[in-house]
Amino acid sequence: MELQDYTFQGVTLVDWSIAVGSGVGIAAVLLIIQRLVASRFKKLAKKTDNQIDDLVAILLKGTRWYAFLAVGIGVAIYIRDFPEQIDQFALRCVFVIFMFQVGLWGSAAISWWVNLYQKEKLSVDPSSVTTIRGMALLGYILLWSVLLLLTLDNFGVDVTALVTGLGIGGIAVALAVQNILGDLFASLSIMLDKPFVIGDFLVIDDYKGTVEDIGLKTTRLRSLSGEQIIISNSDLLKSRIRNYKRMNQRRIAFSIGVEYETDKSLLDEIPGMLEKAVSQQEKVRFDRAHFQSFGDSALLYEVVYFVIESDYALYMDIQQAINLEIVRAFDEKGIGIAYPTQKLFVESQGVAVGSS
């Protein structure tokens, strides 16, 4: 028996070989064209500020070789004299692979748009970036859900009945994974309500850190000591969160003690000296300086001022400059800054002798 006498599904092996060979040839030609066009658009994207050519280059690069192969074999089978059931099966297979490729294109387009938006808005409006990421997640889910339903419908599945069944079964699944769903909805709540965004510095109970990522189940912080802190979204929304990034101004109150032996005429001058030390700093609003109380070993003065920016490093620079100015001003006036001391009084033969 010769090779042309062997058949599979009513088609000779020779015809199968020709169809497959033709499909591979068509796929090879399409792949070469794709590589040439993608290379052309990649070079063009580097030379222009237009974002469309960047998107086209990304989509071309994301086109998979098996999509070309499926199209090539499908076309080769369709144009040859094959039985109808083989033609239908080949077209359905091509449709499935094409839907998958459309999903990859759509996902790449969404990611490109999110990255482009993030580059433009992250430094200006980071809260909108968080919202866009949440919308992108919903876009991924919607895209692949629609493609899955179209694929099932192409194979003759009753999509309406399937959606109804999934709705009933979804209730049971929701009860089984309610903790996971709780974190998911908490994530959506964070993205929509925006109590914090990426880049904010948070204090949550005993934890401190900068927000690095807001995921579906957890939010990740980078602590001051360097390690990553991972907190579930549902637990996060149940906590008391202090967002220092949104602090408009920082209120500072500090005390300083002077020696009890300080000349009484200088005590009235000290508040003015403290005010001068604070007011001469930039980005500072002085509030008050008062003789506050009598301490155990010092006369205590309290100073209150505001730093009109939230940056912690700026506050520390300002406080350092104020402290240095106070030391200089007190030294000029001969005012001693107090330190803890004790005085011991010893009574001997009716005479009190004091020592310190």
Crossing angle of the two packed helices 51-61 and 84-121, in degrees rounded to 10: 140
Could you write out the DSSP letters of every residue in 230-259?
Answer: EEEHHHHHHS-EEEGGG-S-EEEEEEEEE-
Is 150 contained in some domain?
no
Residues 224, 260, single domain; the answer is no
Is 346 contained in some domain?
no
Residue where a domain stops, chosen among 86, 105, 121: 121
Residues 312, 217, single domain; the answer is no
| φ, ψ for residue 201, nearest 5 deg | -100, 120
Residues 206, 285, single domain; the answer is no
Element (H, E) at 353: strand 351-355
CATH number, domain of 238, equals: 2.30.30.60
**What per-residue confidence (pLDDT) applies to 18?**
67
**Total count of domains within the chain:** 3
Residues 214, 276, single domain; the answer is no
Residues 317, 278, single domain; the answer is yes
* Polymer length of the chain: 356
Residue environment code for 145-160, b if the CB has 16+ CB neighbours within 10 A, otherwise e: eebeeebeeeeeeeee
Residues 211, 259, single domain; the answer is no
Is 40 contained in some domain?
yes
What is the rounded distance in angstroms from the CA atom of residue 269 to the CA atom of residue 277? 13
Residues 230, 264, single domain; the answer is no
Distance of CA 246 to the CA centre of its chain: 16
**pTM score > 0.75 for this model?**
no
Residue where a domain stops, chosen among 188, 219, 246: 246
Residue where a domain stops, chosen among 79, 96, 121: 121
**What per-residue confidence (pLDDT) applies to 42?**
72
Of the listed ranges 83-92, 184-193, 258-267, 293-302, the one predicted with least confidence: 83-92
Whole-number average pLDDT of the chain: 79
Q: Helix, strand or coil for residue 306?
A: strand
Is 126 contained in some domain?
no
Is 92 contained in some domain?
yes
Q: What is the pLDDT of residues 248-281, one digit of tens each?
A: 888 999 999 999 999 998 999 999 999 999 999 9
Q: What is the pLDDT of residues 183-206, one digit of tens each?
A: 777 777 777 778 888 888 899 988
Is 53 contained in some domain?
yes
Is 278 contained in some domain?
yes
Crossing angle of the two packed helices 13-47 and 65-79, in degrees rounded to 10: 140
What is the rounded distance in angstroms from the CA atom of residue 230 to the CA atom of residue 207? 10
Q: Which residue has the tokens 């409006």?
A: 125
Q: What is the pLDDT of residues 17-52, one digit of tens each?
A: 666 677 777 778 877 887 787 777 777 766 766 667
Residues 11, 116, single domain; the answer is yes
What is the rounded distance in angstroms from the CA atom of residue 334 to the CA atom of residue 265? 12
- Dihedral (CA of 256, 262, 267, 269) sign: negative
Residue 101's domain comprises 3-121
Is 84 contained in some domain?
yes
Residue 216: pLDDT band (50, 70, 90) is confident
Is residue 4 within 8 Å of 13, Cβ to Cβ? yes
Residues 93, 30, single domain; the answer is yes
Crossing angle of the two packed helices 159-176 and 126-154, in degrees rounded to 10: 130
Residues 93, 197, single domain; the answer is no
Is residue 267 within 8 Å of 299, Cβ to Cβ? yes
Residues 232, 307, single domain; the answer is no
Q: Which residue has the tokens 């300080």?
A: 262
Residues 230, 296, single domain; the answer is no
What is the rounded distance in angstroms from the CA atom of residue 87 to the CA atom of residue 27? 18
CATH number, domain of 279, equals: 3.30.70.100
